[in-house]
C-alpha cells in the first residue's frame, strides 16, 4: 500500500488537530509532516517529521515548500491558516504539480470568504441571513457595531463600537475594517467536510460556550437541522470542498446569521472529530482513491468539549 504523505502548512499550535490525524492512521499508511516559520512550533512534536520554512511573504518560501514536497514526496498539502490558504492559492500550479492534492477550494471561494465585505455582499445577494455590514463612512445601523478587519482571522483587531463617538474614532483609525451590526444570541461554529465533488459529507454545528482570544475554549454540539440545511445550501453556492468551519449567530427568534467562513479546520474542529466526525479518515480515503461511506457518521449530539493550555519543553 502506497504511503500517503501529508504536509500541513502553518501548523504551529495545532497540536491536538495533528494528533487527531495521527490517531486516524490505523487503517492507512500515512506520514504527517508539519511546516512552520517558528522552529519551536508545538505541533512539531506530533509530526513524523517537521520543517522550518520562511514566512509566506518571503520570496524564498515557495522554493522552500517545493523542496519539502520533492524531498518528502508529498501527496497532499493541508493549510491551517488563512495566509497559508492564500499562499497555496497563489502558487496552485507549482504546488499542485506531480499530482499533489491541494486541500483548498476554488479561487472564487477564497476571494469571497477572505474579504468580509465581499462575503457580506455574496451572502446578502444569495439570500442568506447575515448581519448588516458597512464600509467606513457608510454605516447606517443601530449601535452597538463590531469593527472587523476586511481580511483577518482569530478575532484580531476587532473592536466594539458603542456610540457615534466610537464610530468616528474607529472609522478614522480602521480604514480597512468593515462595520457590522452586533447580533445578540448564541454563537455557533459549524464544522464541515465537503468531498471533491462538493457534496456535504459532514455538517456539525457547535455552540461556542466560552471563547478566549478568538479561540473556542468550551463548545457543545447541537445538531440543529435548520442550521445544517442552511450550511449545506451555502456550501453548494460557494462550491466548497474539503474541511471548513463556518461561523454564525442564532438570535432569540431562531434566525441564523452567517458571520464568517473559514476554508480550513477551525480551532474547535477536534471536538467534531472526537464526537464521531472522523474527517482525517475521510481525507485519507479520498487521497487513496477510495469511496467515502454513503452513510453519514453518527455524531455524539450535545457532547461538550473543554480545552486547556499544555506546556511543551525543549531541551
Query: pLDDT tens digit string along 230-258?
Result: 999 999 999 999 999 999 999 999 999 99
pLDDT score of 154 more than 80: no
Query: pLDDT tens digit string along 38-59?
Result: 999 999 999 999 999 999 999 9
pLDDT at 176: 93
pLDDT score of 139 more than 80: no
Q: How far apart are CA 76 and CA 280, in angstroms?
A: 13
pLDDT score of 1 more than 70: no
Contact 190, 224 (CB under 8 A): no
pLDDT at 315: 84
pLDDT score of 10 more than 80: yes
Percent of the chain with pLDDT over 90: 89
Taking residues 63-79, what's their average pLDDT? Answer: 98
pLDDT score of 27 more than 70: no
pLDDT score of 78 more than 80: yes
Percent of the chain with pLDDT over 70: 99
pLDDT at 214: 82
pLDDT at 153: 80
pLDDT at 304: 98
Query: pLDDT tens digit string along 268-312?
Result: 999 999 999 999 999 999 999 999 998 989 999 999 999 998 898
pLDDT score of 155 more than 80: no
pLDDT at 31: 97
The per-residue pLDDT of the chain, averaged, comes to 95
Taking residues 136-147, what's their average pLDDT? Answer: 86
pLDDT score of 91 more than 70: yes
pLDDT score of 140 more than 90: no
Structural domains of the chain, with CATH: 4-104 (3.40.50.20), 132-181 (3.30.1490), 184-306 (3.30.470.20)
Find cell 508539519 and name the residue.
34
Query: pLDDT tens digit string along 167-199?
Result: 999 999 998 999 999 999 999 999 999 999 999
What is the value of pTM for the model shown?
A: 0.96
Amino acid at each position: 500500500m502506497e504511503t500517503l504523505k501529508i504536509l500541513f502548512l502553518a501548523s504551529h499550535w495545532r497540536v491536538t488537530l495533528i494528533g487527531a490525524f495521527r490517531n486516524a492512521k490505523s487503517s492507512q499508511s500515512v506520514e504527517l509532516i508539519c511546516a512552520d516559520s517558528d522552529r519551536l512550533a508545538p505541533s512539531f512534536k506530533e509530526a513524523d517529521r517537521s520543517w522550518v520554512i520562511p514566512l509566506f511573504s518571503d520570496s524564498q518560501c515557495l522554493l522552500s515548500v517545493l523542496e519539502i514536497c520533492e524531498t518528502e514526496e508529498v501527496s497532499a498539502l493541508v493549510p491551517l491558516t488563512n495566509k497559508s490558504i492564500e499562499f497555496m492559492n497563489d502558487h496552485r500550479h507549482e504546488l499542485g504539480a506531480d499530482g499533489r492534492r491541494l486541500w483548498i477550494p476554488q479561487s472564487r471561494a477564497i476571494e469571497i470568504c477572505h474579504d468580509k465585505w465581499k462575503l457580506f455582499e455574496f451572502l446578502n445577494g444569495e439570500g442568506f441571513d447575515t448581519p448588516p455590514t458597512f464600509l467606513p463612512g457608510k454605516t447606517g445601523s443601530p449601535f452597538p457595531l463590531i469593527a472587523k478587519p476586511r481580511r483577518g482571522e482569530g478575532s484580531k483587531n476587532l473592536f466594539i463600537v458603542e456610540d457615534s463617538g466610537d464610530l468616528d474614532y474607529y472609522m478614522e483609525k480602521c480604514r480597512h475594517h468593515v462595520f457590522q451590526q452586533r447580533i445578540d444570541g448564541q454563537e455557533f461554529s459549524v464544522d464541515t467536510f465537503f468531498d471533491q465533488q462538493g457534496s456535504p459529507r459532514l455538517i456539525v454545528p457547535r455552540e461556542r460556550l466560552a471563547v478566549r482570544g478568538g479561540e473556542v475554549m468550551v463548545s457543545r454540539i447541537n445538531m440543529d437541522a435548520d442550521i445544517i440545511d442552511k450550511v449545506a445550501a451555502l456550501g453548494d453556492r460557494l462550491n466548497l470542498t474539503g474541511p471548513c468551519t463556518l461561523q454564525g449567530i442564532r438570535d432569540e427568534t431562531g434566525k441564523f446569521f452567517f458571520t464568517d467562513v473559514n476554508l480550513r479546520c477551525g480551532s474547535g474542529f477536534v471536538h467534531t472529530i472526537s464526537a464521531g466526525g472522523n474527517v482525517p479518515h475521510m481525507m485519507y480515503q479520498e487521497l487513496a482513491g477510495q469511496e467515502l461511506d454513503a452513510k453519514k457518521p453518527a455524531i455524539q449530539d450535545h457532547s461538550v468539549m473543554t480545552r486547556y493550555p499544555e506546556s511543551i519543553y525543549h531541551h
